[in-house]
Amino acid sequence: MARTCLACEKGVPKRGRRRCPLCGRVFRSGWEGVVSHWKARHQAEMAYARFWGSLCRAHRAGHTLECPSCRKGIPRTRRWPRQCPECAQVFRGRGWSGIESHWRAEHGDVMAYEDFLASLCPAHRGGGKPGIDYLPLGDR
């Protein structure tokens, strides 16, 4: 059974300002404020992660994504190895080798791999040389 986009089901246009598919609230800049809105108004009907995962790519576009590695405090130096911001797994070798299969297998419920890669800032997206330092799992 193919999952359908909740916003498409409710007839929310794919262009223009983003609107809540359940109550029609219009968001000012992309999806800014959707998390707090959803959790305050619609959490009982559907979990936010399930709602966000149900949206098609066209409806998710415009969601302001902040670099998850910056948010977790992973340094942006070229000496630092590439590290998964969700589980702190360190990727050895050339840059992000193996991140796609890791992300799809372990964190697909957080966000789509393409969205994850697009959300990385240029400093974290670039390749790095593996080192011995990494963010300990407990410091996520």
Tens of pLDDT, residue by residue over 71-94, are 777 877 666 678 888 888 888 765
Interacting residues of 113 by C-beta distance below 8 A, sequence separation 6+? 100, 103, 104
* pTM beyond 0.75: no
- Nearest residue to 75 (alpha-carbon basis) of 133, 138, 116: 133
Cβ distance 88 to 81 under 8 Å?
no
Question: Which residue has 């080798």 as its token pair?
Answer: 97
Cβ distance 87 to 74 under 8 Å?
no
In the three-class reduction of DSSP (H, G, I as helix; E, B as strand; rest coil), residue 54 is classed as helix
Task: Give the integer Cα–Cα distance in Å for 97 and 95.
Answer: 6
Beta strands in 42-121, from DSSP E residues, in sequence order: 82-83, 90-91
Task: Give the integer Cα–Cα distance in Å for 44 and 111.
Answer: 21
- Per residue of the chain (140 residues), give pLDDT as tens: 456 899 999 998 887 778 899 999 987 767 777 888 998 999 999 998 889 889 888 888 765 457 788 777 787 766 667 888 888 888 876 567 788 889 999 988 877 888 788 778 777 777 444 343 444 444 44
In the three-class reduction of DSSP (H, G, I as helix; E, B as strand; rest coil), residue 47 is classed as coil
The amino acid that residue 118 corresponds to is A
DSSP 90: E
What's the confidence (pLDDT) of residue 23? Answer: 93
What's the confidence (pLDDT) of residue 41? Answer: 93
In the three-class reduction of DSSP (H, G, I as helix; E, B as strand; rest coil), residue 89 is classed as coil
What's the confidence (pLDDT) of residue 36? Answer: 84
Task: Give the integer Cα–Cα distance in Å for 48 and 135.
Answer: 28
